[in-house]
Structure 1
């Protein structure tokens, strides 16, 4: 009887110890707007999630839900995560902003991190990358390489992040090729391969021999490859499967270090509300390999621009620059402030068409 009691006590103790270890794990959740296999935006966020697991091992547990529409579905998914005991939730699309704020109010002990938004709360931080730095480099390459002088741009939604990218690419294409023209098609989606392919096809039919994109799938590169004489760039991820074809470089979103840092902050109790907006210099934006299809001098110039942006000696929005309506924006040598960039709702001079409302 005594032996049985000892066994039972030991088992109970072991069970309690196991429970304690389980409870000590920090649980981290991710809400994704696309599938993890999109090859772009969501794929890179999920790589960051896996880097948390690799760096922190059995101290963490991560969960995710993919292909969550922006709106009520997102709020439902976040709420369920919070109810399931998730300690830190990364919500990885602009349209998740209000759902994140709404759910955070109901769960003040849960920490939230919202990608690309601007609303914060005592338990909500925001983070984004200066993608426009990479767009400037793409614009330089595109302006040098276009033969038709028509560059096509697939926009997702007309939000400041996307408008910044269009402006940055155009400014730098125009600098090296005064005859360049941008044609813009709005897909009104972050990830929809069929719509993205259709948008690319329309632009190619209009004479574009370079396709830039602010959407998440590889469909535009596939369309460029099918056309045979069109180049493009990887978006968010390297999209290296097209490196021997139309892809001449890429913008890389590098989330892992930030995700690890913020998870550690929750674990050690130092997490606080911050707004992070980093770029090439901080390592949150990368430039994928520039292939040999790009002329050597253009590649050298692009890499020099990358280095100058990284060390702060060059800003992609440096005057003189005017707005589309011809009004002055930046004087000679003046650089854009973050407030204007964060809320950018205008095209620069030379771009045609209106920004959809």
Structure 2
């Protein structure tokens, strides 16, 4: 806490205080300034702070202590789920849970012996008693475990898309719960984070929210492709592909859907998905924007998805988290291990920082998705063998 900012300058002739041969460039001028301050204040320690290794090494060679700029590091991210085995039961709590849809926290704690401090609000709980099992969400404010139901065969037959496993069922519940206003889904590629988030928004608009607003980064992989012509919407198109892919999975258009659509030009699945997404945009139910334009946006009463937030600094994440208003819901989907920017890592980026800071809030839920169901063995090998 606390401190002062000063603006100071150096002169070319001051470079005589640094080792011979150092180029008179900006980085070295900062090091020179640190050297002058050190000479002027021999009783005080002067520290040169930078995330660049080369200037830090140069500063050390000049006799100046150098440190990396350190964000808050989150050593271990909580998974958002827990296994609870019921042992001491006077009655079958699993049966009661299925019958009544809820069981008191007191009964579960007494039957399992679990420490109460381990029970975080909106924790996904795998409950077991003998050969029986059930999924439940812990609602700390209500003092209850609420049943999380799976999907019966009739629902599976009718639905185009349903969650594939217990992890995804938990995620679906959290995303559809209006009392949870911020949801973070983390995990490696292929676990369904973005698809689950968009599916919940698709089902909730316009019934519960005015529109679904999806923000994505414009971070490029490999060399930059340079200037893109056209409007902002046209420029952003290359980064909307994952959104269209998600709608393809969610809508799961069959050949008969395409054949009976009655619209000219819709002669294959890709065109059908594209037209469907554009219809949602035209109806004002869907908006897709680059994350660069989030600041200043009116996100009141919207279902907001921020995809790939792991590349944001902590101060940027604060700006993102403060934008939704009214009855809005904020959903963050990302992989902390897929960092595309220097000076950040899986423990210091804004995404994990928010998850750690929001932990314990009644209106927040985090879930680590680990089971890959969409991309198969390719994603598994990449994540396991390529670090």
TM-score scaled to structure 2, two decimals?
0.26
TM-score scaled to structure 1, two decimals?
0.27
Larger radius of gyration between Structure 1 and Structure 2:
2
